[in-house]
Amino acid sequence: MKVRLPYHKTFLDVNIPDENFLGILTSKSDEYKQSLPQDEIVRNALSNPIGSPTLEELVKGKKEVLIITSDHTRPVPSKITMPILLDTIRRANPNIDIKIMIATGFHRPTTKEEMINKFGEEIVKKETIINHMAFDNDQLEYVGLLPSGGRLYLNKMVCKSELVISEGFIEPHFFAGFSGGRKSILPGVAGATSVMENHCAKFIASPYARTGNLENNPIHKDMLFAAKAANLAFILNVVIDKDKKIINAFSGDSILAHEEGCKFVKQLSSVKAKPADIVISTNGGYPLDQNLYQSVKGMTAAEATCRENGVIIMVAACNDGHGGESFYNNMKNAKNPREILDRLAKVPPEDTAPDQWEFQILSRILDKHTVIFVTDMCDPKMIEDCHMIHAYTVEDAIKQALKLKGNNAKITVIPDGVSVIVEND
């Protein structure tokens, strides 16, 4: 069986022995056919907002608008969406002052080169673009308490802006249920304290904080509150396929438009588990597979269809390293993953460490499974320090996995682990 796996900015063609191959789990978005050009899909969505006046109506009479957008780790097709947003706003209100804020959340700032890659040279040259800095207290304003009791700090510019809108994309998310919508605010433009308290050990351990679930999800509840506190007035969220092309778009009210988008994504992304001894997954290639921190997402899809004590083969470039000092050091300095889980079970929300959610989820996976990590773009020691086995090729990883699980072991393949919601009966 030949399978194609996204890796960095290219693909790996891999042969799986027929006698071991059990099945492949892919999102229906791969086959979803959209006859309209991408820009037309976006314009149609803006012309038909859900539960909200049009963007043109919202900007009339306003002096300023703040557009919140995703950072360099997210494949939001801003080269298409941002020019349309800017054009729509300026046609309705030519003199309005527009600022663009990059919702870095807990990540490093987006570089100028990454901005050009994301928006195109013209927008970077002409527009005012600001990186949100979660750790810079001078940028932050205290807004109040979240439903969970956590403290909500938001970027001052967001609090003071006359009109706040956001763009993003909706995909399954491994503890917020889905990306998009309210996530532009928390974690996007929130203070580090707020992100850590929202991503606390108790919430991450909640059975409701899982891929594709919003109901009773404590992390989602806090995020909804933050979006309301920020007066997020309008969203444009797109849905993309495996080639990062727009297949649908939703605009309007930050809750109602997002919910409609999530329903659409759930319909396309839900797949029945094929429990296997060995599961191969990826992070969908660039930009999500550029560090180890982000790669935990693709592993959670494999976790959902991997038999107890199975082997997960994770394929991700990690060309940008581990992606978080706290994440890496906590993994490296622990004797084993169980030690981390036992320690975190006692950590109160206000003492949440940076990146704790990510090393908590990785430890949960490693406590039940062996992970063989495939990359030829980073130092193998970094992988081994995080209690995983390194392999340079998928073929080598399969050989190692079969040695561990036996020559008759069954293999399930998930070509893009971040695009699917794996459902167990």
Q: Cα–Cα distance between 295 and 7 in angstroms, integer?
A: 12
Q: Which helix (H) or strand (E) holds 218?
A: helix 218-229
CB count, 10 Å around CB of 270? 16
DSSP-assigned beta bridge partners for residue 165: 67, 234
Q: Is residue 370 classed as helix, strand or coil in its secondary structure? A: strand
Q: How far apart are alpha carbons 221 and 206 in whole angstroms?
A: 13
Please give the Cα distance from 375 to 392 (Å, whole number): 5
Distance CA 400, CA 404 (A): 6
Which of the residues 8, 72, 107, 199 is marked catalytic? 107
Let me know if 107 is a catalytic residue. yes
Spatial neighbors of 326 by CB under 8 A, at least 6 apart, are 353, 354, 355, 356, 359
DSSP SS3 for 178: strand
Catalytic residue among 8, 72, 132, 173: 173
Residue given tokens 């608008």 in the structure block: 65
Cis peptide before 6 (omega within 30 of 0): no
Whether residue 415 contacts residue 3, with contact meaning beta carbons closer than 8 Å, is answered with yes
Which stretches does DSSP call E strand in 8-103?
Answer: 10-15, 21-24, 64-70, 97-103
173 is catalytic: yes
Tokens of 417: 């682990």
Greatest distance between any 2 Cα atoms in the chain: 69
| Residues labelled as active-site residues | 107, 173
